[in-house]
């Protein structure tokens, strides 16, 4: 589908005398990383298809502050958080959806004590709700029917916020074969990008974390590694390339799987 979708900014929505039910927090990766932009586009297609009332901050959106906090710069984090909270409260934002578990965790669990209290959901939870309510349907699993798919649990979605079932329930709707890694759910292994590791050189050791995690995934002999985080997507994609398996094993975000299966 090549339909051009006009993504509304919250400023435009409010200026027209309306309000949006959901603010889509795109995140730094979803805005600037070429690979993660595809995830953003998939989510927008889903929101548009389902008639969800949403808006983005556009150029007013800045970093949630997660990388600064994880790197130990609490002062910078609070500066970034206060700026965002002032903006969000000024627009009377109540509900936020984001594709990044890092943004999700920060907005949900760390903004309230600084004055930013919102209902924050991950995009897999939103997609699950849209499917369950009948607003989003997939025709007999679509193009992924019968494919072997393994899901990598993002740390800040799974172990930090106990969200394991939403992504798996979505994958089951694809009529695919969901195969679990030996380390999954509460025993999942980090992709190697958390704690601001994404933005620094690796420390000395005999193996990169993402290589170790990719080995877990490849053991399941998957055709697709499903992710729910742009950082995880990058790390698992790089891991698959390390083993020269990129032509056999594809790394896709759950939003991309659903958008493709629904032919959006």
Question: What residues does each domain of the chain span?
Answer: 10-127, 138-261
Tell me how far apart the alpha carbons of residues 210 and 103 are, in angstroms, rounded to a whole number.
Answer: 21
Q: Which residues contact 182 (CB under 8 A, 6 or more apart)?
A: 216, 219
CATH number of 138-261: 3.40.50
Stated pTM of the model: 0.93
The DSSP result for 109-159, as a single string, is IISGGGT---EEEEHHHHHHHHHHTTSS--STTGGGTT-EEEEPPPTTTTT
The residue-averaged pLDDT of 19-35 equals 95
Q: If phi over 0 gives left and psi between -120 and 50 gives alpha, with beta otherwise, what is residue 254?
A: alpha
At residue 1, the pLDDT reads: 46
Angle value at C-alpha 200, between 199 and 206, nearest 5 degrees: 130
Pick the CATH number of 10-127 from 1.10.10.10, 3.50.30.20, 2.40.110.10, 3.40.50.1860: 3.40.50.1860
How confident is the model over 179-195, as pLDDT tens digits?
999 999 999 999 987 66
How confident is the model over 34-90, as pLDDT tens digits?
999 999 999 999 999 999 999 999 999 999 999 999 989 999 999 999 999 999 999
Tell me how far apart the alpha carbons of residues 232 and 254 are, in angstroms, rounded to a whole number.
Answer: 12
**Same fold? 10-127, 138-261:** yes
């Amino acid at each position: 589908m090549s339909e051009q979708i006009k993504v509304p900014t919250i400023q435009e929505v409010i200026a027209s005398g309306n309000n949006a039910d959901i603010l889509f927090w795109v995140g730094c990766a979803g805005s600037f990383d070429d690979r993660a932009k595809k995830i953003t586009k998939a989510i927008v297609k889903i929101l548009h298809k389902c008639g969800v009332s949403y808006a983005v901050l556009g150029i007013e959106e800045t970093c949630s502050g997660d990388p600064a906090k994880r790197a130990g710069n609490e002062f910078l984090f609070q500066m970034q958080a206060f700026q965002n909270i002032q903006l969000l409260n000024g627009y009377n934002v109540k509900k936020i959806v984001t594709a990044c578990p890092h943004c999700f965790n920060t907005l949900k669990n760390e903004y309230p004590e600084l004055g930013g209290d919102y209902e924050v959901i991950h995009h897999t939870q939103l997609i699950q709700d849209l499917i369950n309510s009948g607003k989003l349907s997939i025709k007999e699993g679509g193009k992924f029917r019968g494919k072997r798919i393994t899901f990598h649990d993002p740390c800040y979605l799974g172990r930090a916020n106990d969200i394991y079932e939403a992504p798996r329930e979505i994958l089951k709707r694809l009529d695919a074969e969901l195969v679990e890694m030996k380390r999954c759910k509460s025993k999942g292994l980090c992709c190697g990008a958390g704690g601001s590791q994404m933005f620094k050189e690796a420390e000395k050791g005999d193996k990169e974390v993402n290589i170790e995690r990719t080995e877990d995934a490849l053991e399941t002999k998957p055709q697709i590694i499903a992710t729910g985080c742009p950082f995880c997507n990058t790390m698992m994609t790089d891991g698959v390339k390390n083993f020269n398996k990129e032509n056999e094993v594809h790394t896709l975000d759950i939003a991309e799987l659903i958008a493709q299966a629904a032919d959006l």
